[in-house]
Amino acid sequence: MQAFSANRQVDTEDELWIVEHPPIFTQGISGKAEHLLQHSDIPVVQSDRGGQITYHAPGQLIVYCLIDLKRLGIGVKKMVSLMEMAIIEVLSHHNIHSQTKNGAPGVYVEGAKIAALGLKVKNGRTYHGLSLNVDMDLSPFSHINPCGYQDLAVTQLADLTDNIKIGTIANELTQTLKKYVTRS
């Protein structure tokens, strides 16, 4: 991501990278050590994205958003809002009512976080992105204050609806993100 972003030209097309990570905690640039509540065999990696500590693992959809904000004429707050709206729209297609919280980026279902956001903006271009809990082991979230919030509950699509496939959600979310970003 960093190399792609550093080597972009003005005409380089934006990209969305879809990945799943092995079990790992990532600590953002403003991360505080006290948000890691319990050490385990899961590694903690320092990241240059915004935000505090979070957990990634198989069954969680990660979408890295490599977007030229300058070209789109939008700021980082607008980009965060577009990401949140895209997630909310995809969840609504699965009859899941979700919302944002003031001052706490991400998407929530009945107060539990289902999607986290963490961007880095350099030279007007974003990298890093979002994570959406689809069908994963949520127990390692108990080792941290997710996104720096004590006692924050987390949830996932598999606990809210049936027949969820991460590939289907990845396709739906990337298409929705493209729609929101291109019409911004």
* Catalytic positions: 147
* Residue 183 among known ligand-binding residues: no
* Residue 55 among known ligand-binding residues: yes
* Residue 27 among known ligand-binding residues: no
* Residue 130 among known ligand-binding residues: yes
The HSE-up count of residue 184 (CA atoms within 13 Å, CB side) is 25
* Residue 67 among known ligand-binding residues: no
* Residue 111 among known ligand-binding residues: no
* Residue 131 among known ligand-binding residues: yes
* Torsion on CA atoms 57, 54, 132, 14, rounded to nearest 10: -100
* Residue 51 among known ligand-binding residues: yes
SS (H, E, C) the chain: CHHHHHCCCCCCCCEEEEECCCCEEEECCCCCHHHECCCCCCCEEECCCCCCEEEECCCEEEEEEECEHHHHCCCHHHHHHHHHHHHHHHHHHCCCCCEEECCEEEEEECCEEEEEEEEEEECCEEEEEEEEECCCCCHHHHHECHHHCCCCCECCHHHCCCCCCHHHHHHHHHHHHHHHHHCC
List binding-site positions: 49-56, 116-118, 129-131
List binding-site positions for substrate: 49-56, 116-118, 129-131
